[in-house]
Structure 1
């Protein structure tokens, strides 16, 4: 495929997304119908689509419209690409750019590629870092690996990956973190992955685990385990008795395979109360995902004030349930991949106001300015 064909394909996919279809589903459907497209073509179309979703409002302004064509045109203008090379009017490409598709300025929240209603709470949460953080959230997230330090050192993993053409650099946010600088497309086939030496995990997510007071012999529950990335990260830091739970058990389907690959034993449970009490319970709760919108840009356009209210109610309920499973003197870790105070400090304070036997030992925010996703951690301790 030439550039015009890629632009036409991205336009088709984006129009389906704008009509309500998830981006991954739309990309898969396009790829199945485009057998002629090679791996580089598919990657280029995917990049155009996700850049357009990350920069949806500013791309619409630059492209002079609101449909898939305008978003592609806006992204290409933001990149500084020559328009005529992509919009050439050829049989397999988009029609040439019209005079009425002139770029316009994105102002207010549109300049930061966020919904209008989210600008005030994001400014309140991020303070003076708001503009710099929002700029980074318009870009692609870095590819970060977590080295399994129970099996190999960070330097050893970097050397093993380099032997397979994957170049990495140590990431300062976590001692097990490596940032991939070249060869990311080779990761899934890498021997280091197959042998459980490294896994994909954001640096801020790793830093959250590094902040937990894990020691050998502890009984630990990962209450909102999902795919189990944090479960395995905890296992690499200490010899623990580990349980994993998720409200949607299918999310944990790969955890047993990943745990076996990493040399870790984890008990999956639908009723964690039956194994309580635990010395530490980690709750990485469902949230807006605002801190990880670089990876899931559709999330910021789906979020509504009503959905945020639903999420904060869920978060409070999870805190209450998890706290009841912590042993006297034990620990409760509350984490989100959100910037918003409504999901972070406000939830912790609401819990503490109802729970006099708990105290806050640590709160910490992480963000793109440190090279990772946006994360929040509150570490609470039961007074016994």
Structure 2
């Protein structure tokens, strides 16, 4: 698929999401119904969709509307790409820009819109975060890093990193925990890797690993994980 065809696919998916369909189900169904799209195409389209969801307010402002088309226009402008080079209407690509869409958006967006902060949360977050408000909001606009926990019952962190590296998955130790590895390249390969299949590593945020490390566990005692979700910290404590 060409970059423009990927944009067209993302527009359709975003419009369906805006109409109320769950995004994960949309992406899965689209992949099954469009077998011509390779793994790289599906990954690229997924990235476009989730980039638009994280930056919905700013992309809508830059693109002129809170539609799938408007969000993709905003994404291109945010990335410094002229939308007219993508929206040509030739083949399987989005129709050409309208006169209204060709208008240059304002250079300076209001701060809450530029950092994609919901109006209802802006005052609370500013009060809570203080000087960290903008850095935190900007961080939330980016894809979250992928962290792994090395299973020390089966390996060491260094050996787990080496096993992943042998399959092209690059990692680096993270200072929050002696078991934490941050994936720096090819994160999508992790769950197909031999290291994953053999239980050398599992997905877990570095902060969650640090919480488990810092727990004062009594010998032979019982611990209640009152807010367990997937049970990652519970497993680490066990």
TM superposition score normalised by structure 1:
0.59
Aligned position for 1:274: none
Q: Residue 215 of structure 1: CA displacement? A: 4.4
- 1:210 is matched with which residue: 192, 210, 213? 213
User: Gaps spanning 5+ residues in structure 1: where?
Assistant: 236-384
Summarize deviations over 1:195-246 as a string: whole Å, max 9, x none: 22111111112222222112442222323332221112212xxxxxxxxxxx
Do residues 232 (structure 1) and 207 (structure 2) align?
A: no
Q: Which has a greater percent of strand?
A: 1
Q: 2:137 aligns with which of 110, 134, 137?
A: 134
Distance 1:84 1:215 in 2: 64
Alignment counterpart, residue 150 of structure 1, candidates 146, 150, 153: 153
Which structure shows the higher helix fraction?
A: 2
**Which residue does 1:73 correspond to in 2?**
73
State the SS of the aligned residue for 2:223.
strand
SS at 2:182's partner residue?
strand
Distance across 1 between alignment mates of 2:190 and 2:234: 21
Residues 314-352 of structure 1, C-alpha deviations (whole Å, 9 max, x = no match): xxxxxxxxxxxxxxxxxxxxxxxxxxxxxxxxxxxxxxx
Q: What residue in structure 2 maps to residue 32 of structure 1?
A: 32
Q: Distance in 1 between matches of 2:144 and 2:119?
A: 23
Deviations 1:239-288 (A, max 9, x none): xxxxxxxxxxxxxxxxxxxxxxxxxxxxxxxxxxxxxxxxxxxxxxxxxx
Cα separation, 1, equivalents of 2:68 and 2:2: 19
CA distance in 2, matches of 1:122, 1:116: 10
Q: SS of the residue aligned with 2:160?
A: helix
Question: Aligned equivalents of 2:218 and 2:186: distance in 1?
Answer: 36
- Bigger radius of gyration: 1
Q: Name the CA distance, whole Å, in 1 between partners of 2:12 and 2:84.
A: 19
Runs of 4+ in 1 over 4 A off after TM superposition: none
Aligned match of 2:94: 94
Q: Are the counterparts in 2 of residues 4 and 90 from structure 1 also a CA contact under 8 Å? A: no
CA gap 1:210/1:69 in 2 versus in 1, 3 angstroms: same
Match of 1:109 among 109, 112, 116: 112
Root-mean-square deviation (Å): 1.5
Contact 1:57–1:106 (8 Å) recurs in 2: no
Matched residue, 2:183: 180
- Between the aligned partners of 2:195 and 2:216, the Cα distance in structure 1 is 28
Q: Tell me if structure 2 keeps the 8 A contact 1:3–1:85.
A: no
* 1:109-160 C-alpha deviation (Å, 9 max, x unpaired): 2122121010011112211111111011101111111112233221121111
Which digits, 9 at most, give the CA deviation of each residue in 1:279-315, with x for residues without a partner? xxxxxxxxxxxxxxxxxxxxxxxxxxxxxxxxxxxxx
Could you list the per-position Cα deviations for residues 45-86 of structure 1 after superposition, in whole angstroms to 9, with x for gaps in the alignment?
A: 110000000000000011111110010111121122342332
* TM-aligned CA distance change 1:215 to 1:176, over 3 Å: farther
Distance 1:167 1:108, change over 3 A: closer
Q: Which runs of 5+ in 2 are unaligned?
A: none
Partner Cα distance (2:145, 2:194) in 1: 21
- In the TM superposition, 1:16-27 aligns within 5 A as 16-27=16-27
